[in-house]
Amino acid sequence: MRTNYMYGRMRRSVVTEIFALTICLWLKAGAGPGLGTPFSYSVPGQANELVLIEWGSNPMELLINDKAATLPITMTDEKWHHVCVTWSTRDGVWEAYQDGAKKGTGQNLSAWHPIKPGGIFILGQEQDTMGGRFDVTQSFVGELSDLQFWSRVLTSSEIYSQATCGGHLVGDVMSWSEESVELHGGLTELSFDPCH
């Protein structure tokens, strides 16, 4: 639902600076416009340290340190999709994958800026201050599952394997389990296995 009070919070935070990353998750869009914000990571002094957002009729964007890259990913069929983003401080190179296929790549996205530790990682809302000030128009509508966060850039074959259920890698920064996500505001937890 589109609210400013329903969200998930990852219990773990980022404990060291991150110089490269991959985040993958399964997403199922609800009724639009726009997917909203599947996840946002805020640190002291920077609300938009790491955000995935598709706001209103705008394209999907990856924000790092409040700089944005437009991702050529669309999800309007209300079916489950596997989405991955990768990024490295080196030249700010990013990649976007949907259902195991590379859809886009670019560079100069916050090059040489490591992701800062000690922040708050929220599912389903965009943080305007660390841990709060959610904007209802940017809230995620739909379902999400199996978010995994690595401190390295996964290879395209590793990502393809995740998306097609050929394997299941667990993120070293954050990983998905019932214990790892705190639910707030009356979110519903459903069992989901993308591979069956």
Give CA–CA dist 22/124, Å, rounded.
18
Give CA–CA dist 108/148, Å, rounded.
24
> Which domain does 93 fall in, by range?
7-184
In the predicted structure, residue 144 carries a pLDDT above the cut 90? yes
Among residues of the chain, what percentage have pLDDT more than 70? 99
Give CA–CA dist 65/51, Å, rounded.
9
Residue 139 vs residues 34, 95, 111, 164: alpha-carbon distances, Å: 9, 24, 28, 28
Task: Evaluate whether residue 147 is within a structural domain.
Answer: yes
pLDDT at 33: 75
Task: Evaluate whether residue 190 is within a structural domain.
Answer: no
Task: Say how many C-beta atoms besides its own lie within 10 A of residue 117's C-beta.
Answer: 13
Q: What is the mean pLDDT of the chain?
A: 93
Task: Find the mean pLDDT for residues 142-160.
Answer: 96
Task: Evaluate whether residue 111 is within a structural domain.
Answer: yes
Q: pLDDT band at residue 24, thresholds of 50, 70 and 90?
A: very high
Q: Look up the CATH number of the domain holding residue 39.
A: 2.60.120.200
Task: Evaluate whether residue 90 is within a structural domain.
Answer: yes
In the predicted structure, residue 151 carries a pLDDT above the cut 90? yes
Q: CA angle, corner 146, sides to 191 and 86, nearest 5?
A: 165
Give CA–CA dist 141/38, Å, rounded.
9
Instruction: Give pLDDT tens digits for 33-78.
Output: 788 999 999 999 999 999 999 988 889 999 999 999 999 998 888 8
Q: Length of the chain, please?
A: 196
Is the bond leading into 33 cis (omega within 30 degrees of zero)?
yes
Q: pLDDT band at residue 196, thresholds of 50, 70 and 90?
A: low
Q: Count of domains in the chain? A: 1
